[in-house]
Amino acid sequence: MEAAGAIAANIAFTTSGSLVDCVDKKVMIALRDGRKFVGVLRSYDQFANLVLSDTFERVFIGNHYGDIPRGIFLVRGENVVLMGEVDLDREDEIPPEIAAPLPQGSIQQLLAAHAAEQEKRAKAEARKAAVLRREKGFCEQGGEGDGY
């Protein structure tokens, strides 16, 4: 019986129950669409739907970033790709060659630059998809051959 207890103590939770240690701590969340949010995890449910407070969206442009305040934020669990606790002691020690914060008053410029970068990525993806369809026989998303 003692061996079973030792094994159970070393099993990692792979369910939403493992989030209990992150409640009331600052976390960073990466979503399926590429957005990144930082906030304090306040609550979650069995589907890993998350409630964050004091949330901001961190937007990266090249090796610069800016934070857009979002307030209280609800994230549907199926959209979360990655979540981790933010180390408060090292949070402000990001080397400038990796990423440097933009000036505080430049949120509108940040949003415009981010929209332009997203548009550029979308055009590049469309070109890739066209080449794959034309040269490799791929179908359009939702097109014939994608059904099961």
Cα 116 from Cα 36, distance rounded (Å): 18
CA distances for 91 relative to 27, 28, 38, 120, 125, angstroms? 11, 11, 11, 30, 33
Nearest to 104 by CA among 73, 137, 80, 69: 69
Q: What is the pLDDT along the chain (148 residues), one digit of tens a residue?
A: 566 666 555 555 556 677 888 899 999 999 998 899 999 999 999 888 999 999 999 888 777 788 888 999 999 999 999 999 998 887 777 766 666 666 666 777 777 888 888 899 899 999 998 998 888 888 877 655 555 4
Cα 119 from Cα 113, distance rounded (Å): 10
Instruction: Tell whether pTM > 0.85.
Output: no
* CB contact at 8 A, 65 and 30: no
Rg of the chain, C-alpha, whole Å: 20
